[in-house]
Structure 1
Amino acid sequence: MANRFFEGAAHAAAYAKFRPQTPASVVDRICSFLKEKYEGSLRAAADVGCGSGQSTQILSPHFTSVTGLDVSPAQTSEAIKLNTKPNVSFVTSSAEKLPFSNNSLQLITAGQACHWFDLPVFYKEVDRVLVPGGVLALYGYLFPQPIHGDLTEKLYQIVNHMYISELNGYIHQGSKEVYLEQYGADKYKLIYDDVLEIRDDTHFVDKTTTVAELTGYISSWSGFQNFESKCGSAAAQNILEDFQNRIMSTLNVATSPEDTEICLRFKYFLLMGRKPLGP
């Protein structure tokens, strides 16, 4: 069974507020790869595990119709509320039973999501609903790296410490598989090499934010949500405050966390595979 960790309304709202927007370059690369062997019009795409819709709306200019799917009603409700594209819709659905007919989609994407799926079942569904020559694209991003002159490495280590040490024992295995680079392996590589043929690690997005918003991003981690559910809101608030205080102490500024700007760099990785054109 697929894992379900992002279903609360408050978590969905935090996810929508603090998660990064998918770089346009990622979608451009996906569409370019699709068009290399698929010559038909780009009619229909699906974004599976769409969360609050950041990774769905960006497909809108390239397809006649785009559907975002998530197993969480709270996430799809948030996505519908935030949607601004008339050709984008959202459906509550699992990744293991896609609500599409056979050979009906040119593209299926999963952004920062497929590590939660029952992959063998998901892959069978992908094969069923993709047209011949259609593409499956899986992508994600690593820890945000604060970019701040000679303090960059110190700040990054504080983020890293929060994940590996403070939340040790509360991080789900699926999340670790996204961040395998932190553990000496190669993002997604071990579990996806059997079906994916293209790998691209060149994309990133820089996001100017505040220290308070960086702390909010940490609160959207599934590991933090797990910690809070098991240890209580007071303990969760304490580790967030400690994280924020360490960041502020390292920056050594007089402004408040809400008024202290910082640049975060999200490095993306993209893996793609194509359904064969013939038997």
Structure 2
Amino acid sequence: MFLDHEKFYRECDRVLVPGGVIAAFTYDCQEHRVVEHPNAEKLSRIMNEIPEKASSAQDLESSEYSMIIIKKYTYPNIQIPYTDRKRIDNVYMTIDSTIVGFLKLCLSASFVRNYVNSCNENMAWWRSCEERLMDAYGTADPKAPLTYQMEVFMLLGRKS
């Protein structure tokens, strides 16, 4: 597993003073919403095709990390072990980036990178995504500004 939550929470409990807080934060990389662009809907569809297609080629349920993210940190074994705790959902983080910046973000996810690099056909599809994004945007510049939103979720806890 990418993080031993039990060990992490024990260490937090050791170093936190009463009233100290802990936060676990992550974001949903499966859905992106373009904002502030006249062709936002089409751009969003193309952007969302990337994680959808890349994840369809893999059994994400076999990866505990993927399922923890997909289930938005709802697994009982990763909940913050304090009685004074709170969960925050349905908040969207706005990201100011570029077309190429978004594509680099996607490639930072191993399941996307593995899919794209697995064969020439997938690499061609990846290149078509970049072309379709630029066409939908109405630009030939891959560094054109692109503003989009991703859902974030957070677990908060305060030590008594």
Q: What range is the shorter-chain TM-score in? A: 0.7 to 0.9
Q: What is the CA-CA distance between 1:177 and the residue it aligns to?
A: 2.5
Is contact 2:68-2:74 (8 Å) kept? no
Are 2:14 and 1:128 equivalent residues in the alignment?
Answer: yes
- TM-score by length of structure 2 reads 0.73
Unaligned 5+ residue runs, structure 1? 4-116, 181-186
Please list the CA deviations of residues 85-142 of structure 1 after superposition, one character each: whole Å capped at 9, or x if unmatched: xxxxxxxxxxxxxxxxxxxxxxxxxxxxxxxx12223222222232232221111122
2 CA distance for matches of 1:170 and 1:237?
Answer: 20
Partner of 1:262: 146
Q: What is the CA-CA distance between 1:156 and the residue it aligns to?
A: 2.4
Residue 242 (structure 1) aligned to one of 117, 125, 128: 128
Partner of 2:74: 189
Q: Secondary structure at the match of 2:19?
A: strand
Cα 1:175/1:154, change in 2 over 3 Å: farther
2 CA distance for matches of 1:211 and 1:244?
Answer: 8
Is contact 1:145-1:266 (8 Å) kept? yes
1 CA distance for matches of 2:54 and 2:7?
Answer: 34
Q: What is the CA-CA distance between 1:212 and the residue it aligns to?
A: 1.7
Unaligned 5+ residue runs, structure 2? none
Please list the CA deviations of residues 19-54 of structure 1 after superposition, one character each: whole Å capped at 9, or x if unmatched: xxxxxxxxxxxxxxxxxxxxxxxxxxxxxxxxxxxx
Cα 1:119/1:193, change in 2 over 3 Å: closer
- TM-score by length of structure 1 reads 0.46
Q: What is the CA-CA distance between 1:236 and the residue it aligns to?
A: 5.9
How many residues align structurally?
Answer: 152
2 CA distance for matches of 1:273 and 1:266?
Answer: 23
Cα 1:256/1:146, change in 2 over 3 Å: same
Q: Secondary structure at the match of 2:106?
A: helix
Is contact 1:219-1:240 (8 Å) kept? no
Partner of 2:156: 272
Q: Percent identity?
A: 24
Partner of 1:220: 108
